[in-house]
Amino acid sequence: MSAEAVATPKTVPAQSITLSRLLAQPEVTAGIVVAVLLLVLVFGSPFFLNANNLASLQTSIGPMVLLAIGMTVLFVTGTFDLSIGATMALAGLVATWLLSAGLPWQVAMIGGVGVGAIVGVFNGVLVSYVGLNPLIVTLGALYVLRGLVDLMIGGGRPQPWMYVSGPEVDPGYYAFGSLHIGPLHIILLLAIVLALGADVILRRHPIGRLLYLAGDNPDAARSLGIPVRRLQLAGFVLCGVLAAIAGMFIAARTGLASRHIGSGVELQIIIACLVGGASIAGGRGSVLGSVLGVLFITLVNNAFNLFEVAAEWQKVVVGSVLISVVVSDGWRSLRRARRGK
């Protein structure tokens, strides 16, 4: 047998294994799916490239990316937060209430960010230091925060102080929701910058490696002196702060601090992170993958609207995607456990 004949079968499998490993990467899979969705929308709907639709996509993607950054960090550390939507609503209301009291927009936004930080500390202490289940803690926080939102509103109808535009209100806050730099909205630019920074930190900075170790095997990480509790607490605070910024932006963009801000966004962000490769078990995930997951969720919703599909089917599809990614995540975790044994 010639040398060429011996070399050929060894070279081809090596190339195929490399390709299969590449396609097995969640970021690559999510990127392919998003590219296909974009092609379907560009060639399937004459309204997709409409200026109004593209502007609407920007203002939808920007806040979602902010939420996905915080949720990705929590997934990496082995936990999650179901109260982000309620945090958005409460932060928007508090910031608007401070504006109505005559305070500058900077003070109002600091107050809204403070709300997110307080919620993050509350969730983080109970989960990381007390040891309670994050599902119970953050679900309870969701109900508490929604209750506080209802108490602030009172009768359930929009109150005069809930509007963020008018001659008596500092215009800086309203500008935050409408400012553009060229064709790009300020919230999208902010989300891109933060996502790039967070992705670099998770991939290349020592803090990122500590986060992955803390989520992958908390007991081993503690034995190595890694501050698992502090890392998880920091993740909850980051998640709460980013949720507050997203909520204040939506209130500023729409001109009204509505009680419905962030309603149902928790599951969408969880789906986006799982689609992008994050794991409920912890120790896995990337900001890039979660951003691609956000694009997937946003484009799917946009496709349903452009093709005039009933809202009930949107819920069916989103729920089916959630079940699929959770089952897939559980299967991958089981395979990892078997390989470890």
The predicted structure's pLDDT at residue 43: 93
Q: CB of 165 within 8 A of CB of 255?
A: yes
Q: Which of 16-20, 52-56, 219-223, 314-318 has the lowest mean pLDDT?
A: 16-20
Using CA atoms, how far apart are residues 311 and 315, in angstroms rounded to an integer? 7
What are the beta bridge partners of residue 181? 184
Q: Please, how many CA atoms are within 13 Å of residue 16, restricted to the half-sphere of its CB?
A: 6
Q: CB of 90 within 8 A of CB of 148?
A: yes
Using CA atoms, how far apart are residues 96 and 86, in angstroms rounded to an integer? 15
In percent, how much of the chain has pLDDT > 90? 57
Q: Please, how many CA atoms are within 13 Å of residue 23, restricted to the half-sphere of its CB?
A: 6
Q: What is the 3-state secondary structure (H, E, C) of 96-158?
A: HHHHHCCCCHHHHHHHHHHHHHHHHHHHHHHHHHCCCCHHHHHHHHHHHHHHHHHHHHCCCCC
The predicted structure's pLDDT at residue 162: 76
The predicted structure's pLDDT at residue 167: 59
Using CA atoms, how far apart are residues 100 and 159, in angstroms rounded to an integer? 11
The predicted structure's pLDDT at residue 243: 97
Sign, CA dihedral 269-271-272-278, equals: positive
Using CA atoms, how far apart are residues 45 and 85, in angstroms rounded to an integer? 31
What type of residue is 199?
D
Give 127-180 pLDDT, tens digit per residue: 999 999 999 999 999 999 999 998 888 766 777 777 776 656 677 787 888 888
Sign, CA dihedral 129-132-138-143, equals: negative
What are the beta bridge partners of residue 180? 185
In percent, how much of the chain has pLDDT > 70? 89
Give 214-251 pLDDT, tens digit per residue: 999 999 999 999 999 999 999 999 999 999 999 999 99
What's the chain's average pLDDT? 86
Burial 82-101 (b: 16+ CB within 10 A, else e): bbbbbbbbbbbbbbbbbbbe
Phi, psi angles (nearest 5°) of residue 181: -120, 100
Residue with the larger pLDDT of the pair 110 and 4 = 110
Q: Which DSSP state fits 256?
A: B
Over residues 296-309, the mean pLDDT reads 90
The predicted structure's pLDDT at residue 313: 82
- In angstroms, the Cα distances linking 165 to 168, 176, 219, 257 are 8, 12, 51, 11
The predicted structure's pLDDT at residue 214: 93
The predicted structure's pLDDT at residue 155: 62
Helices (H), 276-310: 287-306
Give 240-280 pLDDT, tens digit per residue: 999 999 999 999 988 888 888 999 899 899 999 998 989 88
pLDDT at 295 over 90: yes
Q: CB of 145 within 8 A of CB of 87?
A: yes
Q: CB of 118 within 8 A of CB of 296?
A: no
